Amino acid sequence: MTKERKSPRRRIRVSDFGILSSCFIALLLGGPLPLVAQEKSITFDELVQSAEQWARENLDENVLRSLQDTDQKEVKKFLAALEKQFQGEYVVDLAVLKEGAKAIIPLLEQYEETLPYAIWLKTQLDYLEVAEQLRLLIPAPKPEPGRPPKPVPNPAPKVVREIWIRKYAERPWPKTAKPYIAALRPIFQAQKFPPELLWLAEVESSFDPRARSPQGAAGLFQLMPATAKQYGLRTWPFDQRLKPEPSARAAAQYLRHLHAQFKDWPLALAAYNAGEGTVEKLLAGRKARSYDAIATRLPAETQLFVPRVEATILRREGVKLNQL
């Protein structure tokens, strides 16, 4: 086991933070969950049970074992709740997890074993912050006596794009981006692929190849194990997703495949995030051909992911996604 990274300060505990959101506190303490569970008629016990099942199937017990027992339980519950909301229907529901994420990150940063999760979670903070901005912009539906609260409707794609563009307007390059852009651009060009899409790595990992998600995605481009293997990468005994060049090559090949399938970059990116089947099903069900036509029905994370990539490329390269 990797040696622990020591800190001169006392250990940071989730319970030390008085700013945790009501949803996060409810999840930890066993209280009722607002809005989402009510709208879908799912009890809190069912939600926690399914979250615990997700944690058992996705979280690496060997990694989390470096945490103390109480912290380990809190981290598991938080990451499971975050995944639930990412895959949920409503974007603004993510806002309640922002302060919880800020509390969890220092906990994960203390140990080499959990540091990859911390790096990944830092990249997710932007989603939670944008969700909070959207929550302030979109009025909640008026309550109806005797009926459960209605969820806040999802924002139009145009609104989400504008928020991301404003958020990235003054953002400098990630400190680690420059050497990777110079080294990996020729790889994308060799694949006859738009090199501007290299900036997907800023969205996925902030150009830190150590990033690892609880779902098992890893590396600069957060490739899942099955996708990596499909495009010729090994995940054992050494995980090639952690090497920038093979990871970039596989990501370019996968994105090229998705673009050939959907003939549209926003749809290809939606499939990169949510899966090809999800996008195909929505397009068929709504008899649609564009991202904007299905955006509000995609998983909450995907609704934020695609315009985030668009805003990143616009900021870094000065071109719009549909111009590639």
pLDDT in tens, 120-175: 999 999 999 999 999 999 988 888 888 888 889 999 999 999 999 999 999 999 99
Instruction: Please write the tens of the pLDDT for every residue from 69-107.
Output: 778 888 988 999 999 999 999 999 999 999 999 999 999
Q: How does 44-74 read in b/e, with b if 16+ C-beta sit within 10 Å?
A: eeebbeebeebbeeebeeebbebbeeebbeb
Residue 56 binned pLDDT confidence (cut-offs 50, 70, 90): low
Q: What is the pLDDT of residue 64?
A: 78
Looking at residue 70, its pLDDT comes to 78
The answer as to CATH 3.30.56.10 being correct for domain 157-323 is no
Mind listing the pLDDT tens digit for each residue in 17-51?
333 333 443 444 333 333 333 233 334 445 445 65
Question: What is the spatial distance between Cα 295 and Cα 14, in angstroms, rounded to a whole number?
Answer: 35
At residue 178, does pLDDT exceed 90? yes
CATH 1.10.530.10-classified regions of the chain: 157-323
Q: How confident is the model at residue 227 (pLDDT cuts 50, 70, 90)?
A: very high
Encode pLDDT of 264-309 as tens digits. Answer: 999 999 999 999 999 999 999 999 999 999 999 999 999 999 999 9
Distance CA 320, CA 70 (A): 46
What pLDDT is attached to residue 151?
87
* DSSP β-bridge partners for residue 218: 212, 223
Query: Where are the alpha helices (H) located in the chain, listed in sequence order?
Result: 22-29, 36-40, 44-58, 61-64, 69-86, 98-109, 115-137, 157-168, 177-190, 200-205, 225-230, 244-262, 265-274, 276-285, 291-294, 300-317
Predicted pLDDT of residue 18: 33
Question: The whole model's pTM is what?
Answer: 0.84
Chain mean pLDDT for the chain: 85
